[in-house]
Amino acid sequence: MMHKDIATPRRTKEILDQYGFSFKKSLGQNFLIDTNILRKIVDAAEISAETGAIEIGPGIGALTEQLARRAKKVVAFEIDQRLLPILADTLSPYENVRIIHQDVLKADIHQVIADEFTNVTDIMVVANLPYYVTTPIIMKLLTDRLPIRGMVMMLQKEVADRLAAKPGTKDYGSLSIAVQYYTEAEVVMTVPRTVFIPQPNVDSAVIRLIKRKQPPVEVNDEAFFFQVVRASFAQRRKTILNNLVNNLPNGKTLKEQIERALANASIDSRRRGETLTMGEFATLSNVLRTMLINV
């Protein structure tokens, strides 16, 4: 039997009134009240009866419910204790949902997957992320090397644009490179602020990040590669040479090596970081790493 959707304005208001729930600004709580958009998010994640879904910040269960109707199992991390009794109630029709009261940034997600998703081979993260912790959550999910197919996230539109940005655009930066190193990123749709309560003061977008089997570039030392990338974007208006000299550890004493590495990588030292492709960054960091090891 189909139960009444949680994510209608009327039903959401009923639930919040029933529990006397008030939104906490500090937790970035904005609840979706449009079932159509929620279904599109689940569609974008290609959830099937074989999929295990991990959700972050289920709120009152609007997206959780849509996932539960299609997935084999849903595990959702909720940090706000006040929402636990509400979720127990709104999701009571669904036996394939488990709510974990924990901050996902502190969670051992590998362990949760091992415990909760036995006999599940397809795992997807699907979430309407709180804006204030979007980037740390995405980076944790990527760098933890989880056995997931990918993620579909609702987040602030300008962050989504940065994650999917191409070289030479104003949105392109170290975050674009970090995310695209691990995944193929695309913005699936833009979402107006009017479909949330309370309304956020920015528009949102849904991004789909599908994990790559292997990174698109070969680097000798991942940590060093990301260090070079971050240093190159430290001050957007400065040249790549200036940024590396000023922002790499001991950069000032290594100026000659950095100049030589740029030349060896066929990169004009007067270019700005945002014009370099990921491939150019990989070549540069490999050349520089080899030089510094041999110093």
Tell me the pLDDT tens digit for each residue of 214-273.
Answer: 999 999 999 999 999 999 999 989 999 999 999 999 989 999 999 999 999 999 999 999
pLDDT at 225: 97
Residues of the chain with CATH 1.10.8.100: 222-293
- Residue 103 annotated as binding site: yes
pLDDT tens digits for 121-149?
999 999 998 777 889 999 999 999 999 99
175 within 8 A of 162, measured Cβ to Cβ = yes
Residues of the chain with CATH 3.40.50.150: 9-211
pLDDT at 183: 97
pLDDT at 28: 65
| Residue % of the chain over a pLDDT of 90 | 80
- Residue 46 annotated as binding site: no
pLDDT at 209: 98
- Residue 57 annotated as binding site: yes
- Residue 220 annotated as binding site: no
Name the band, by pLDDT with cuts 50, 70 and 90, for residue 2.
low
Q: Could you give the CA distance from residue 234 to residue 171 in angstroms, rounded to a whole number? A: 14
Q: Is the dihedral of CA 221, 226, 280, 215 positive or negative?
A: positive
pLDDT tens digits for 138-181?
999 999 999 999 999 999 999 999 999 999 999 999 999 999 99
78 three-state secondary structure: coil
Q: Which CATH number fits domain 9-211: 3.30.70.640, 3.40.50.150, 3.40.50.1220, 3.40.50.300?
A: 3.40.50.150
- Residue 128 annotated as binding site: yes
> 71: alpha, beta or left, given left = phi > 0 and alpha = psi -120 to 50?
beta
Residue 27 predicted with pLDDT over 70: no
Residue 295 predicted with pLDDT over 80: no
Mean pLDDT along residues 59-80: 96
84 within 8 A of 99, measured Cβ to Cβ = yes
Please state, rounded to an integer, the average pLDDT across all residues of the chain: 93
| Residue % of the chain over a pLDDT of 70 | 97
Could you confirm whether domain 222-293 is CATH 1.10.4190.10? Answer: no
- Residue 32 annotated as binding site: yes
pLDDT at 1: 52
Mean pLDDT along residues 95-112: 96
pLDDT at 7: 87
